[in-house]
């Protein structure tokens, strides 16, 4: 009986980690917003989804033959108005959860992320071929860090640099 209770508790903890947790799980910590600029011709954080008007770039979510969990490429530069399509290739579940997002960008980034599991967090992807696209239209220029919540401890992190 004692083992069953322990196994049940461990299972609940594991499921909680994979579910994205509560809204504060990816809460931003105070950051320096000196490098963040408002896009030309628009207000930031309007709360209305803005479709991509530029190129759609692809980032793959993979586990390599050596067991390394990563985004390929791990760092990408896009222009305001571009989009990124994350594709689950192997080793799921994976997600895309932005961290330390400046307040000036949170509202618009939230609006541009459909079907969020938690604050600034995509749904979990379980099967190869599943994809998730985020528009960077209306997003201030700057650097945006993101992680795969279930594989953060394994170093699955990425960075998007948005340029004007």
User: pLDDT digit string (tens) for 48-107?
Assistant: 999 999 999 999 999 999 999 999 999 999 999 999 999 999 999 999 999 999 999 999
Fold of 2-163: Immunoglobulin-like (2.60.40)
- Alpha carbon distance 39, 118 (integer Å): 26
User: Which three-class secondary structure state does DSSP give residue 46?
Assistant: coil
Indicate the length of the chain as a whole number: 164
Q: Are 139 and 162 in contact (CB under 8 A)?
A: yes
pLDDT in tens, 6-21: 333 333 334 344 433 3
For the chain, domain boundaries: 2-163
pLDDT of residue 47: 75
- Alpha carbon distance 93, 150 (integer Å): 7
Answer yes or no: pTM beyond 0.75. no
pLDDT average, residue stretch 111-138: 97
């Amino acid at each position: 009986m004692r083992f069953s209770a322990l196994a049940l508790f461990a299972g609940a903890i594991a499921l909680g980690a994979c579910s994205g947790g509560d809204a504060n799980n990816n809460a931003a910590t105070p950051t320096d917003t000196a490098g963040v600029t408002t896009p030309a011709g628009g207000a930031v954080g309007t709360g209305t989804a803005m479709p991509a008007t530029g190129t759609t770039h692809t980032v793959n979510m993979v586990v390599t033959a050596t067991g390394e969990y990563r985004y390929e490429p791990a760092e990408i530069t896009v222009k305001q108005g571009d989009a990124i399509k994350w594709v689950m290739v192997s080793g799921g579940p994976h997600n895309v959860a932005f961290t330390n997002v400046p307040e000036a960008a949170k509202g618009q980034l939230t609006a541009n992320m459909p079907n969020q599991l938690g604050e600034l967090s995509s749904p979990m992807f379980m099967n190869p071929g599943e994809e998730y696209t985020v528009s960077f239209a209306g997003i201030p220029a700057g650097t945006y860090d993101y992680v795969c919540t279930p594989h953060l401890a394994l170093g699955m992190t990425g960075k998007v640099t948005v340029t004007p």
